[in-house]
Structure 1
Amino acid sequence: MIGRQRGFTLIEILVAVVILAIGLLGIAGLQVMSVKSSTNANLRSVAVYLANDMADRIRANRVGVAAGSYDNETGSAQNAACLTTAGCTSAQMAANDKFEWLQELGDELPGGAGTIANNGGLFTITVTWNDRVKQAEGADADTSSEQSTVSLTFQP
């Protein structure tokens, strides 16, 4: 009479553990990519917000636009008088706006930088920053930094 087998064998348990471990590693990899993608999406939304912020600043200072004070991002300087009730000139306000905007870019985005270009009354605001991405080069994929850009073109 042949005895009946009861319970699991050690090999069956080991196979189940290996399959479970592979599944958990896959889930962990998906979680890491999800967090990375979420971070990159957050940086993109911050960049869009900052581009719109500068566009609103330009729209609010029509005299500065007419004088060409916003034609590029150079000439930016902080002016404390612009933040008081005494006020400042439109050119000083434009310089203060650009200074604050460039400071926010550096503070809010990794490697954040911005440019402003005026092409016949059509402004283009460009925001660039460093995104962390996974380079797809086979099994030895490496995490590095890549420049991302958001451009906003508008007419004040």
Structure 2
Amino acid sequence: MVYHEKVKALQLKQFVSEGFSLVEVLVALVIFSTGLLGLIQLHMNALMLQNDSQVRATASLLVADMADRIRANPAEALLGTSSAYNNPDRSIGETPACLGLSDQGAENDSSCDATAMALFDFYEWQNLIAGSTSTDWHPASAATLPSASGVVCIDSTPEDGTPATPACDGVVSVTDRPVYAIKLWWTERKDSGSTLQQHTMSVSP
């Protein structure tokens, strides 16, 4: 009888020693939670970097789009400072006539000359950047960049300027060969808050 009781006591002691105490469980939970939070933060950072990469790729495409428009219209671009492409004030030129339409969407037989096309190029470009409301001849479009602003102008120092002050000096270094600066700004969200980003391209017709 005594022998059996000793065996049971040893088995019970072994069973208890193989278990986990409450403190051990809590410590394990803390370690697991810390690791899980680290993985979540890592995933969030990866998503943010992916979004930044997509936005910057979009900015590059938008700047290249305007550069192609300028090259495709040399008759207007070669006018230099008097060209409609030199638009430091970002005047919006709504010229649906370039699409064969009037402002109300009706068919229009008026011709679309080089100047009208330049104004319309800038109008379409601004709509791509910042979005637009619907009109009688086109639907509303969403902004492709967050808090974006763009300008096209003749500038000998294209890397300067801000959305409020684009700093276009209008200097043509080589006669009859104007160089247009295409400047695009947008905001990116960082841990410390939003930061202003800029992408610039220079193009000569």
TM, length-normalised to structure 2: 0.67
Q: Measure, in 2, the Cα distance between the counterparts of 1:75 and 1:13.
A: 67
What is the match of residue 183 of structure 2? 126
Residue 25 (structure 1) aligned with residue 37 (structure 2): yes
Q: Measure, in 2, the Cα distance between the counterparts of 1:23 and 1:29.
A: 10
What is the match of residue 78 of structure 1? 94
Residue 50 (structure 1) aligned with residue 62 (structure 2): yes
Task: Encode CA deviations 1:11-59: one digit per residue, 9 max, x unaligned.
Answer: 2221111100000001111111111121111111111110000000001
Greater helix percent: which structure?
Answer: 1
Which of 113, 116, 120 aligns to 2:152? It is 116
* 2:145 alignment partner AA: L
Cα drift, residue 123 of structure 1: 1.6
Q: Measure, in 2, the Cα distance between the counterparts of 1:72 and 1:17.
A: 62
What is the count of residue pairs matched by the alignment?
148
* 2:40 alignment partner AA: A
Q: Measure, in 1, the Cα distance between the counterparts of 2:117 and 2:201.
A: 21
Unmatched tracts of structure 1, length 5 or more:
136-143
Cα drift, residue 91 of structure 1: 0.3
What is the match of residue 69 of structure 1? 84
Mean CA deviation greater in 1-10 or 113-122 = 1-10
Residue 91 (structure 1) aligned with residue 127 (structure 2): no
Greater strand percent: which structure?
Answer: 1
Residue 100 (structure 1) aligned with residue 124 (structure 2): yes
RMSD over aligned Cα, in angstroms? 1.9
Which of 47, 50, 55 aligns to 1:35? It is 47
Cα drift, residue 83 of structure 1: 1.4
Unmatched tracts of structure 2, length 5 or more:
1-5, 101-107, 131-142, 156-171, 173-177
What's the secondary structure of 1:108's corresponding residue? coil
Q: Measure, in 1, the Cα distance between the counterparts of 2:204 and 2:76.
A: 14
Question: Between the two proteins, what is the percent identity of the paired residues?
Answer: 30
Q: Measure, in 1, the Cα distance between the counterparts of 2:87 and 2:95.
A: 18
Cα drift, residue 7 of structure 1: 2.0
Q: Measure, in 2, the Cα distance between the counterparts of 1:72 and 1:122.
A: 13
Mean CA deviation greater in 89-98 or 67-76 = 67-76
Residue 155 (structure 1) aligned with residue 193 (structure 2): no
Kindly report structure 1 stretches of 4+ aligned residues shifted beyond 4 Å. none
TM, length-normalised to structure 1: 0.86
* 1:93 alignment partner AA: M
Matches within 5 A, 1:135-154: 135=192, 144-154=193-203
Which of the two has higher C-alpha Rg? 2
Cα drift, residue 9 of structure 1: 2.1
